[in-house]
Each structure stands twice: as structure tokens, then as C-alpha cells.
């Protein structure tokens, strides 16, 4: 489907300002929606909001369905009378980069207090809402809460290192655990209820203000996830639960040895036989909590780079075909029009282009990739199609200022000539170019509006530390910047 012409900002909720060590989906999220509306923006793009695993990456999650309870708002817990005002009034964690350890400890304590308040009967008005949530979401919630309880009882060990009876989900063992750990399981169900209660309020508020939220669905799930534990036959695993092959990408722009993601690969022929039941549930759920969804690594719906399990780099992988045509046919048959964005970056092939275009999905165009080559570069604006999404950069890119400072002479010269600019403010030159393009949607990372350098990038691919920590400082998205963005958006018909 085609997206209405407009523009928006890429900002993950963890990057919102506040005093609790990490951004959340409380008042600061509502305030950001107000700023988007004031700036004439129609879209708020986020990264996955699922629970993060090793390295705090939103692309490595314990569940494809659960919410990240680190994003729970302490202030909203007070509003719901689940925690006392005194529990949060003296908290003022550092407001610079995300402090995942401090935030995790804080949110764990507050959610425990909230659960005890709920159990003690101080919030009877939430009883039916919680019961309804559990009934509606039982199909993923029950297994996820059990998985978390088991993982905690095993000191965080991955599921494939549990006892055979639990690893293979033998019914007697599972039933026994559900009985023995009923309190821990319900506590996690309640935490999920709180997250989705708060997130639903943010989405409703955004939509009321004519701001659409663009979510993100990674193509793969983590090996140590409830999705793999509960669906082992649909992944290429060894008998002990370890992966036969893992996902990655071959050597490319980002890494000379490729990227070894480590995710297990789907047994696609079994998913075909199941008429893609798991994928249908996943996409339907994502489109319920967001208005549209970016499909990460769209190339992977045509072919996967499979690396032998145990390899330390992605160099020795091989390509295997994926039944993407059958998958999207099944999704459209069941779900109707699909407001999906194809992250079609990387080594494009005619097959990938056909899958994208035959389904009407817009692709992505990145201005940071446009300069230093020839006139046929698809990331140059004169080669854009209307049914595309224009970006200055993505969460995996440097900031536009950082990119330009590090660019070679050829790329800088090309950018100056093409944009007819001295590039004194490279971020605003790219923003203006993106907004003026024919692309239906133009998305800009928040860091670019602020003119920040490389220290403020969100992620550096193929690195394991220092990522996902950037946060927006209080009052940095100033009225002047908001007014300038609105003026440009109006000028190019995006309001």
C-alpha cells in the first residue's frame, strides 16, 4: 500500500529524556507526540519494543511479542496508584546516555511494588482489565511468562542448557513448573499488562494527534528466546537445541568479515506446511501495536546467508532460498493490505526487487549512501520513486554530521556539486534534500535535527558495546528547530 506523503522522526523510546536512566512510554512520550504535531510531522518511527537480550539490542529479543518492561513509565505507575509518589520522587538517575543496569534495577523494583499493590487489592479497578488482557493474549503471554520465570530460576542460562525435560517441553515438567512458580509467572504477566497498557495509551494519543507510529520487525529471533523454545521444529536446530546454522550477512560496507548475527534459521518448508501461522500472528500483532511496520533485512525473505553454527565470522556462509512470495501471499490473504516498509539495503537482486514491487512495499533510500559514485546510484534523489521512504541515515548509520566529516574527498565534492551547497550544515542540507524529494515519506533521525556528531550515533554494526545508549537531552529539540522543520515540511507538501 502507498503511504500518505509526509515526514517524521526516527527516535526510539529509550532515547526520550527523563530522570529514570532510560526513556519510557510515559509523559515524555506524550510530550514528544506534541512536538511532532507542532512540527507538522505525520510519522514517529521507532525500533523494536520487545525485551532486549545480550548487548541491549532491540534486534536481539527474548520474545517477538512481549514488550520491553524497561520502557514502563514510573510516573504512569504512580498515576495508576500502583506505586507511591515517595517511591520515585527522589530518583534522578544520570540523564546522559542510557544506564541499562541502573534502569533495569529501578524498573524491577518498581514493577515488584506495583505487583504487590495489585495483589493486595489497592487497585480493584484494574482487576478486570488484567484478566481481560490475560485472556486476550494467552497465546503468547503464558509461554513468555513461564520462560522468564524459568530463565530467572536458572540464573539467566539459555533454554537449551536447561534439563532435558524442560528443554524439550515435556508436559509433566511444564505443568509442574507452572504450578510451583505460579506467583512468578503471574508477576511477569502483570508486568506485560502494564507495558501494553501504557504503550496503548501512547499510540492512542499519537493517532488522535494524526501521528502514525512506524514499528520494526526483525526478520530473525534470538536463539535464546521463547519463540525458538516453543517452536523448535520450525528452526534448523541440533537435537540439543543448538543451531545447525546461524544468520548473518556476507562481507559488506560495514564489515570485511561480514556480520555474524547468530540467530537460528527458519525451517521454511515447515512454515509453508503450517501456512505461515507463526509469521501471520507476528505481523498481525506488530500492526496492532503500530500503524505500519518496517521489515528489517528484507533481502532475507528471498534468501538467507547461512553460516555454520560455531563459526566465528560470517565469511564461510552460503545463500539458501526463502519462500517469500508464498509468505506475503498468505499474509495478504489473511490480513488484507499490508502497511509494510521493505528494508531493502545491501546486495539487491532482481528477485528482491520483484518481491518488494509485486507486493507494493516501499523501499528505503539513504542519502548518506548517495555520494561518491555515478549518476545511477539509486540513493540519489533523482532516482527515487514515489513509493519509497527517504532517510538521511538509519539507526545503523553515523549521524549526518559525523558521516560528512569522515567522508572522503570524492564524496564531499560530489555532495557539494549535487546539492549546490558549501555543506556548512551538512545535516540540514540532507534534511532539506530528503524532504524535497518525491519519496512519499521522509524520515530523519533526531540526532540530525540537532546537528550532532559521531558520539551520538545509535548503533555501530559489528560492535558489541556502547550501542543503543544515546538519549535526547531535555529541551534540545528547541522551538526554533521545530519551527524550521515545520516550515520545510509545509514547503514540500508534507504537512
Residue numbers annotated as active site: 296, 343, 396
Of the candidates 369, 447, 462, 449, the residue with the CA atom closest to the CA atom of residue 407: 369
100's CB contacts (< 8 A; 6+ apart) are 21, 22, 56, 70, 469
Residues 45, 458: Cα–Cα separation, whole Å = 14
**How far, in Å, CA of 172 to CA of 176, rounded?**
6
DSSP bridge pairs for 264: 246
Q: Helix 324-335 crosses helix 277-289 at what angle (to 10 degrees)?
A: 60
Helix H segments across 359-491?
400-406, 409-419, 426-436, 446-449, 479-491
Residues 6+ apart with CB under 8 A from 296: 59, 216, 217, 218, 219, 343
What the block records as the C-alpha cell of 222 is 534470538
For the record, the C-alpha cell of 270 comes out as: 515447515
Q: Using CA atoms, how far apart are residues 73 and 395, in angstroms rounded to an integer? A: 24
d(CA 477, CA 450) in angstroms, rounded, equals: 7
Amino acid at each position: 500500500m502507498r503511504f500518505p506523503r509526509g515526514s517524521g522522526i526516527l527516535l526510539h523510546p529509550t532515547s526520550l529524556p527523563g530522570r529514570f536512566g532510560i526513556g519510557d512510554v510515559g509523559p515524555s512520550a506524550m510530550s514528544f507526540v506534541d512536538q511532532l504535531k507542532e512540527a507538522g510531522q505525520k510519522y514517529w518511527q521507532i525500533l523494536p519494543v520487545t525485551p532486549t537480550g545480550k548487548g541491549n539490542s532491540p534486534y536481539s529479543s527474548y520474545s517477538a511479542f512481549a514488550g520491553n518492561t524497561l520502557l514502563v513509565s514510573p510516573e504512569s505507575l504512580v498515576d495508576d496508584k500502583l506505586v507511591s509518589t515517595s517511591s520515585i520522587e527522589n530518583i534522578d538517575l544520570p540523564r546522559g546516555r542510557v544506564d541499562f543496569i541502573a534502569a533495569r534495577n529501578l524498573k524491577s523494583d518498581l514493577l515488584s511494588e506495583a505487583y504487590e499493590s495489585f495483589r493486595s487489592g489497592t487497585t480493584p479497578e484494574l482487576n478486570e482489565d488484567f484478566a481481560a488482557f490475560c485472556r486476550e493474549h494467552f497465546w503468547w503471554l503464558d509461554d513468555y511468562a513461564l520462560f522468564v520465570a524459568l530463565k530467572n530460576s536458572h540464573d539467566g542460562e539459555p533454554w537449551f542448557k536447561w534439563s532435558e525435560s524442560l528443554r524439550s517441553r515435556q508436559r509433566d515438567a511444564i505443568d509442574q513448573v507452572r504450578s510451583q512458580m505460579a506467583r512468578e509467572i503471574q508477576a511477569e504477566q502483570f508486568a506485560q499488562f502494564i507495558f501494553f497498557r501504557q504503550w496503548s495509551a501512547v499510540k492512542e494519543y499519537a493517532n488522535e494527534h494524526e501521528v502514525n507510529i512506524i514499528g520494526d520487525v526483525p526478520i530473525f529471533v534470538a536463539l535464546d528466546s521463547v519463540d525458538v523454545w516453543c517452536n523448535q521444529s520450525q528452526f534448523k536446530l541440533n537435537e540439543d537445541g543448538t543451531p545447525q546454522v546461524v544468520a548473518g550477512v556476507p562481507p559488506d560496507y560495514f564489515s570485511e568479515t561480514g556480520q555474524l548475527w547468530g540467530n537460528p534459521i527458519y525451517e521454511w518448508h515447515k512454515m509453508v506446511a503450517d501456512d505461515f501461522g507463526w509469521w501471520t500472528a507476528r505481523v498481525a500483532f506488530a500492526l496492532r501495536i503500530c500503524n505500519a511496520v518496517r521489515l528489517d533485512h528484507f533481502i532475507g525473505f528471498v534468501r538467507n546467508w547461512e553460516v555454520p553454527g560455531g563459526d566465528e565470522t560470517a565469511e564461510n556462509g552460503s545463500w539458501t532460498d526463502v519462500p517469500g512470495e508464498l509468505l506475503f501471499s498468505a499474509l495478504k490473504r489473511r490480513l488484507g493490505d499490508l502497511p509494510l516498509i521493505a528494508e531493502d539495503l545491501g546486495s539487491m537482486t532482481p528477485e528482491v526487487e520483484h518481491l518488494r514491487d509485486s507486493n507494493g512495499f516501499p523501499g528505503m533510500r539513504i542519502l548518506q549512501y548517495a555520494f561518491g559514485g555515478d549518476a545511477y546510484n539509486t540513493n540519489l534523489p533523482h532516482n527515487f520513486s514515489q513509493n519509497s521512504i527517504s532517510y538521511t541515515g538509519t539507526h545503523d548509520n553515523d549521524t549526518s554530521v559525523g558521516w560528512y566529516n569522515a567522508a572522503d574527498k570524492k564524496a564531499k565534492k560530489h555532495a557539494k556539486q549535487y546539492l549546490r551547497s558549501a555543506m556548512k550544515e551538512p545535516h540540514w542540507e540532507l534534511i532539506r534534500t530528503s524532504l524535497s524529494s518525491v519519496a512519499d515519506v521522509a524520515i530523519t533521525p533526531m540526532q540530525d535535527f540537532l546537528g550532532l556528531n559521531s558520539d551520538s550515533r545509535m548503533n555501530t554494526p559489528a560492535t558489541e558495546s556502547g550501542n543503543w545508549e544515546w538519549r535526547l537531552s531535555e529541551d534540545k529539540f528547541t522551538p526554533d528547530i521545530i519551527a524550521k522543520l515545520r516550515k520545510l515540511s509545509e514547503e514540500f507538501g508534507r504537512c
